[in-house]
């Protein structure tokens, strides 16, 4: 579970690469999943993206699957 870190402007989360709870930059990105141009406008989905500020490891999760 992510927690707010009061000493920094960010979130601390567990990083599998670091094997520790580290500061992460968290954002939401809208990604197009369809490869067909005619359906691309209907295939956009939100993704939660977290990047470890210690090692740079990135993890993304489709929000509809959260």
27 token code pair: 């954002």
Rounded distance, CA 24 to CA 60, Å?
12
d(CA 13, CA 7): 14
Phi, psi (deg, nearest 5) at residue 28: -115, 130
Is 35:23 a contact under the CB 8 Å cutoff?
Answer: no
Write down the pLDDT at residue 3.
Answer: 57
Q: What is the pLDDT of residues 16-43, one digit of tens each?
A: 999 999 999 999 999 888 788 877 778 8
Q: Give the per-residue pLDDT at 39.
A: 75
- Interstrand relation of 44-52 and 3-4 (parallel, antiparallel or unpaired): unpaired
Residue 66 has pLDDT above 90, yes or no: no
- pLDDT score of 23: 94
């Amino acid at each position: 579970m992510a927690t707010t870190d009061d000493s920094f402007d960010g979130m601390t989360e567990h990083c599998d690469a670091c094997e520790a709870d580290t500061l992460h930059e968290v954002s939401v990105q809208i990604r197009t999943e369809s490869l067909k141009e005619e359906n691309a406008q209907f295939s956009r989905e939100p993704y939660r993206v977290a990047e470890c500020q210690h090692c740079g490891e990135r993890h993304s999760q489709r929000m509809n699957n959260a």
